[in-house]
Amino acid sequence: MQRFAQSLRHNTPFLVMALPGILLLLVFSYLPMTGIIIAFKDFRASLGILDSPWVGFKNFEFLLRSPVLARITINTLVLNGLFILAGLIASVGLALLLNEIRLKSAARAYQTVVFFPYFISWVIVGYFSFALLNSDNGLVNRVLQSVGLEPVAWYSSPQYWPWILTLVHIWKSVGYGSIIYLAAMLGINPEYYEAAMLDGANKLQQIRYITLPHLVPVMVILTLLAIGRIFYADFGLFYYVTRDNSLLYPTTDVIDTYVYRALRVNADIGMAAAAGLYQSVVGFVLILVSNRIVKRIDPERALF
Amino acid sequence: MVAPILPRAHYLLRQLLRNKSQLILHAVILSITALFLIPLLVVVSASFTDEIALTRNGFGIWPSQFSLAAYNYILLDPSQILRAYGVTAIVTIVGTVLGVVIMSLLAYVLFRHDFTWRRPMAFFVFFTMLFNGGLVPTYILITQYLKLRNTLPVLILPYLVVPWFVFLLRTYFLTLPKEFVESAKIDGANEWQIYRHIIMPLSTPALATIGLFCILMFWNDWWLALLYIDEPKLYPLQYLLFAILRNAEFLSSNASSLAMLTSTRPPLQTTRMAMAVIAIGPVAVAFLVLQRYFIRGITLGGIKGE
């Protein structure tokens, strides 16, 4: 008892310093975790969380029986999968191009331009895509017409959207990604290149046999960590760029947009909570698994 | 100033022309960057286009008929956008200052080996990165139990502690020489003094990076407003833009009396685009000035993911 009091006195300043941060996490992260019981209740606002009646797995049964579960799961996995793959290729490719430029001031200027979209909010990106894609007077349809092609009603043609969203995703994130790979390239010992040049290797051979192999570890780790988060979608991209258009849901509705809509638009709290818990649990497992693999490859890069 | 630059530019250009592969490389990247800029150009040019010309000719990268009508229209009654700017500025400043202080304190505690419960507390912070309760419980907690709907704090509090930033700061503190803390302890400094007078001054680069990412996070946020704000006078900038894009009438509802005064139909399409341009402006300038700090931040912690 005395030792505890002593230890408490010793640790008091630390506890006081950590208090605001710990309290905020407690309220905004841990309290909601206890709220996952809502998924097993027939939630009624007037009764509150604790007094709403339990319904067991009924919300999950509804979710399983509705066609929406398969749709949002497949869309989330396929679209995020596309983003991961295309993002990887684009980031590495752009980093390779920028790295080859000898005029460093020009390379910096190019980098500035491709990094810029990272700073633009998804709402503004929604404006950009509207200016390009709206069917009355958007730029893309004007270009199509000027070369004699039929204009496309983009906002009511779901089949194009996996590609549109992938392009927008790349546009917004490739600057960020290429910075990481450029940094990794700076770490490669220049003697490798000197030796290769002495042996008569050309630029492409140098990239193929020196640069890329050195980037593989970073590529693998970043991809694995991205796969660990594959169950979480970038809400802003799917909500603002599609303008939350219900005609596009078949290919653009993901778990996050569905949960938001079930909660705020349809006020179907049971379904929203069930889908949300499904995302949290599967997402948790995926992060654990991907982290375990990362840890086996490179313990330094693992999250924990 | 100009004189020495010109021959140099000329020299560089000659070098470039002599080297064919570099020339191709520049051509490729230039076309990529041009593609990257098109969306921005289209919105900016639309904001300077005459309303009827825009409807007739469509969006382009150059105004088909130059006009300042959209900006004049906004200037008639700028209160709506100024108010949103104000909300966003308050949220960004208060959120960034509080966030950096709270997160650096937490990171300091997790960094000090003298703290007995360091490991369990680190796990407490870290676990929130792996698992969360999801949107529904959070939403019900904030709206029904904390009663934070339509308040300024709801735009700040949920974002104050970003676990990822906390660990970034702690990692940075660990790179500082141990002797600083030890000798301060011997001199009788308490934990507050060590935090305030030793760790903080030595960590300005890391603090600046975290601060910039906080500024970006608060400035660009629409998510909290989408969930918790429906009072137009509390709309932050991004959410106001969303409201306008969803419903152009939102613009005119505010200025309908003015529209009657000027007795012309408000140029809604182009005004929307002008609002977006006004919102992008400061971000663009800040970006050009500060981007190298962001790049440093990404290379500092980016390897571990976003």
Hey, what are A27's tokens? 């309220």
In the predicted model, what is the mean pLDDT of residues A109-113? Answer: 93
pLDDT at B12 over 90: no
Domain closes at, from B24, B48, B67: B67
C-alpha A165/C-alpha A86 separation (Å) is 11
Determine the pLDDT at residue B286: 84
Contact A162, A79 (CB under 8 A): yes
Q: Give the gap in angstroms from C-alpha B262 to the nearest C-alpha of chain A.
A: 27
Domain that holds residue B259: 70-306
Instruction: Say yes or no for a CB contact (<8 Å) between B220 and A280.
Output: no
Task: Indicate whether B252 and B200 sit together in one domain.
Answer: yes
Q: Which residues of A touch B138 (CB under 8 A)?
A: 28, 32, 35
Q: What is the pLDDT of residues A226-240, one digit of tens each?
A: 999 999 999 999 999
How open is the CA angle B50-A140-B265, to the nearest 5 degrees? 25
Task: Indicate whether B80 and B34 sit together in one domain.
Answer: no
Instruction: Say yes or no for a CB contact (<8 Å) between B134 and A102.
Output: no
pTM given for the model: 0.91
Residue partners of B114: CB distance under 8 A and separation at least 6: A10, A14
Task: Indicate whether B191 and B203 sit together in one domain.
Answer: yes
Q: Which residues of B touch A106 (CB under 8 A)?
A: 26
C-alpha A53/C-alpha A273 separation (Å) is 15
Task: Indicate whether B17 and B75 sit together in one domain.
Answer: no
Q: What number of C-beta contacts closer than 8 Å exist between A and B? A: 276
Q: Give the gap in angstroms from C-alpha A31 to the nearest C-alpha of chain B.
A: 8
Instruction: Say yes or no for a CB contact (<8 Å) between A119 and B195.
Output: no
Instruction: Say yes or no for a CB contact (<8 Å) between A218 and B303.
Output: yes
Q: What chain A residue is nearest to B219 in terms of C-alpha separation? A: A121
Instruction: Say yes or no for a CB contact (<8 Å) between A24 and B190.
Output: no
Residue B45 burial class via C-beta count within 10 angstroms: exposed 0-12, middle 13-18, buried 19 and up:
buried
Q: Which CATH architecture has domain A58-301?
A: Orthogonal Bundle (1.10)
Task: Indicate whether B3 and B84 sit together in one domain.
Answer: no
pLDDT at A140 over 90: yes
Q: Which residues of A touch B306 (CB under 8 A)?
A: 176
Domain closes at, from B41, B67, B93: B67
- The residue written with tokens 């017409």 in the block is A145
Instruction: Say yes or no for a CB contact (<8 Å) between A123 and B124.
Output: no
Task: Indicate whether B105 and B147 sit together in one domain.
Answer: yes
Task: Indicate whether B122 and B149 sit together in one domain.
Answer: yes
Q: Give the gap in angstroms from C-alpha A187 to the nearest C-alpha of chain B.
A: 12
- Residue B61 has phi, psi (to 5 degrees) of -85, -5
Instruction: Say yes or no for a CB contact (<8 Å) between B136 and A288.
Output: no
Task: Indicate whether B124 and B225 sit together in one domain.
Answer: yes
Domain count, chain B: 2
Could you say which of A13, A110, A236 has the minimum Cβ distance to residue B29? A110
C-alpha B297/C-alpha B300 separation (Å) is 5
C-alpha B65/C-alpha A299 separation (Å) is 60
Q: What is the pLDDT of residues B145-154, one digit of tens each?
A: 999 999 999 9
Question: What ranges do the domains of chain A cover?
Answer: 58-301
Spatial CA neighbour of A121 closest among A162, A87, A172 = A172
Q: What is the pLDDT of residues B225-246, one digit of tens each?
A: 999 999 999 999 999 999 988 8
pLDDT bracket for residue B17 (50, 70, 90): low
Q: What chain B residue is nearest to A4 in terms of C-alpha separation? A: B116
Q: Which residues of B touch A272 (CB under 8 A)?
A: 135-136
pLDDT bracket for residue A29 (50, 70, 90): very high
Q: What is the pLDDT of residues A250-298, one digit of tens each?
A: 999 999 999 999 999 999 999 999 999 999 999 999 999 999 998 898 8
pLDDT bracket for residue B260 (50, 70, 90): low
- Disruptive mutation site among A12, A17, A33 for chain B (greatest number of B CBs within 10 Å): A17
pLDDT bracket for residue B5 (50, 70, 90): low
Could you say which of B33, B112, B219 has the minimum Cβ distance to residue A14? B112
Instruction: Say yes or no for a CB contact (<8 Å) between A120 and B46.
Output: no
Domain closes at, from B48, B67, B86: B67
Spatial CA neighbour of A271 closest among A47, A32, A74, A66 = A66
> Where residue B115 sits, what CATH number does that domain have?
1.10.3720.10
Determine the pLDDT at residue B19: 80
Q: Which residues of B touch A10 (CB under 8 A)?
A: 114, 116
Instruction: Say yes or no for a CB contact (<8 Å) between A277 and B105.
Output: no
Task: Indicate whether B98 and B132 sit together in one domain.
Answer: yes
Q: Provide the mean pLDDT of chain B.
A: 88
- Of A254-258, B21-25, B172-176, B265-269, the range with the lowest mean pLDDT is B265-269
Q: Give the gap in angstroms from C-alpha B261 to the nearest C-alpha of chain A.
A: 29
Determine the pLDDT at residue A87: 97
Task: Indicate whether B35 and B173 sit together in one domain.
Answer: no
pLDDT at B298 over 90: no
pLDDT bracket for residue A55 (50, 70, 90): very high
Q: What is the pLDDT of residues B91-141, one digit of tens each?
A: 999 999 999 999 999 999 999 999 999 999 999 999 999 999 999 999 999
Determine the pLDDT at residue A211: 95
Task: Indicate whether B36 and B80 sit together in one domain.
Answer: no
Q: Which residues of B touch A87 (CB under 8 A)?
A: none
Q: What chain A residue is nearest to B222 in terms of C-alpha separation? A: A123
Contact B169, B161 (CB under 8 A): no
- Disruptive mutation site among A19, A63, A139 for chain B (greatest number of B CBs within 10 Å): A139
What is the DSSP annotation of A142-181?
Answer: HHHHHTTPPP--GGG-GGGHHHHHHHHHHHHHHHHHHHHH
Residue partners of B12: CB distance under 8 A and separation at least 6: A103
pLDDT bracket for residue B303 (50, 70, 90): very low
Determine the pLDDT at residue B283: 82
Determine the pLDDT at residue B305: 35
Q: Give the gap in angstroms from C-alpha B35 to the nearest C-alpha of chain A.
A: 9
Q: Give the gap in angstroms from C-alpha A75 to the nearest C-alpha of chain B.
A: 19
Spatial CA neighbour of A287 closest among B163, B235, B205, B127 = B127
Residue B249: C-alpha distances to residues A54, A177, B245, B252, B254 (Å): 44, 39, 9, 5, 9
Instruction: Say yes or no for a CB contact (<8 Å) between B163 and A25.
Output: yes
Determine the pLDDT at residue B306: 33
Determine the pLDDT at residue B290: 86
In the predicted model, what is the mean pLDDT of residues B212-221? Answer: 94
Q: Give the gap in angstroms from C-alpha A78 to the nearest C-alpha of chain B.
A: 20
- Residue A54 has phi, psi (to 5 degrees) of -70, 145
Determine the pLDDT at residue A8: 86
Task: Indicate whether B59 and B99 sit together in one domain.
Answer: no
